[in-house]
Amino acid sequence: MSRESKVEKRRSFIINTIYFAIIIGIVYIALKYALGLFMPFIVGLMVASLLKPAIKILSDKLQIPKKIVALVLVLLFYSAAGSLLFWIGIRVFTLLKEGIVRLPEIYSTTVEPSIFHLFESVKEIIARLDPSMVQAVESMATSLSQSLGTIISDISSRVIVVISSIVSYMPGLFLAIIFSIISSLFISMDYSTITGYLIGLLSPKHQDLLFEVRSFTSGIIVKYAKAFATLMFITFVELSLGLSILRVEGAIGIAALIAVIDIMPVLGTGGVLIPWAIIALIRGQTPFAIGLIILYVIVTVIRNILEPKIVGEQIGLHPVVMLMCIYVGVKLLGFIGLFLLPFTIIIAKHLYENNFLAETKEDTV
């Protein structure tokens, strides 16, 4: 290989790296600062795209104008989705409210007596070994009880403040929902005209790029869903077996719930099993608490090993690259980054390998 070709290859690599970095930077800025502003219209476009096939089929079969069918289906969709979300929200709010209100009572009637019972057992053992340490153990028990009582009260007050702040966001959320419904209606009624106009603003090369992204994205979403469904199933099986071995009543139902929660990086399996183990330990159920911790470690290790491999194989990324994308995505964008950054990388990789980015880049020079 000649010196000129080596230099050209390095130059091409540097340009492509900068190009990808700029694209990722633009996507990050758009998601962080612009996504919230345009979210009602994005939701409107997504709902209109989702309902488009049903609108066409019903309009053709019933011989009813598309605008009327679109109006009915959009209103039905938001009514059903709104009713479901409202019911879930009321249930969650009620459970949280009941739990927070009863938290101090639960502590004083269950947790605090369990702590003193635990320390009484420790005191008996210490008294046999070193009677002089008994006073220190009693002081420790009193101090721990007071500290936990303060923490419980603080948690209750903080949660009430959080709930109040959530309620204060309701007017803005309601306005966003109204705009989402209106935009869905308008876009659904003139879907072909609006999308045709937006696509017409692009050059032929960029139109090809857009159609390729749309076509490739639909396949990737299916693969993504398949990968995470596989992970959820594996987690469900592990938890079902583990909880059944620990003789937990309703093990299968609890395992299914935790498997769904495990998708969320903020909570995950540990968000359920660790507090459960701590409560069991306080109540003196030491073998059961140890069993829960062991189950948590097993599930977490297996998931961290399999997730990059399963998801990476489905969407075409090396497990190490997939692991890096998951970590960086969560750090930058939170829960949405878990899916979005690997998604963005694989789309950019596909476009580059098929010379779409190169053609676009040459077009702009």
| Model pLDDT for residues 105-134, shown as the tens digit of each residue | 666 666 666 666 666 666 666 666 666 666
pLDDT tens for 144-157 read: 666 666 666 666 56
pLDDT recorded at residue 84: 84
Tell me 319's DSSP state: H
pLDDT recorded at residue 364: 43
Residue 337 lies in a domain: yes
Q: What is the per-residue burial (b if ≥16 Cβ within 10 Å, else e) of 320-340?
A: ebbbbbbeebbeebeeebbbb
**Count of H helices and E strands in the chain?**
14, 0
Better-predicted residue by pLDDT, 308 or 253: 253
The arithmetic mean of pLDDT across residues 318-343, rounded, is 72
pLDDT recorded at residue 241: 92
Q: Are 331 and 300 in contact (CB under 8 A)?
A: no
pLDDT recorded at residue 365: 41
Residue 142 lies in a domain: no
Residue 356 lies in a domain: yes
363 has a pLDDT exceeding 60: no
pLDDT band with cut points at 50, 70 and 90 for residue 359: very low
Residue 312 lies in a domain: yes
Give the position of tokens 């603003």. Answer: 201
pLDDT tens for 211-254 read: 777 777 777 777 778 888 888 899 899 999 998 998 888 888 88
Q: Are 288 and 280 in contact (CB under 8 A)?
A: yes
Residue 104 lies in a domain: no
Residue 212 lies in a domain: yes
Range of the domain at 245: 203-365
Tell me 77's DSSP state: H
Residue 222 lies in a domain: yes
76 has a pLDDT exceeding 80: yes
pLDDT tens for 159-213 read: 666 666 666 667 777 888 888 888 888 888 888 788 777 777 777 777 777 777 7
Structurally, the chain folds into a number of domains equal to: 1
Residue 281 lies in a domain: yes
pLDDT tens for 255-289 read: 888 887 776 655 678 778 888 887 777 676 778 88
Q: What is the per-residue burial (b if ≥16 Cβ within 10 Å, else e) of 206-231?
A: beebeeebeebeeebeeebeebbeeb
Q: How far apart are CA 21 and CA 33, in angstroms?
A: 18
**Angle CA 276–281–287, to nearest 5:** 95
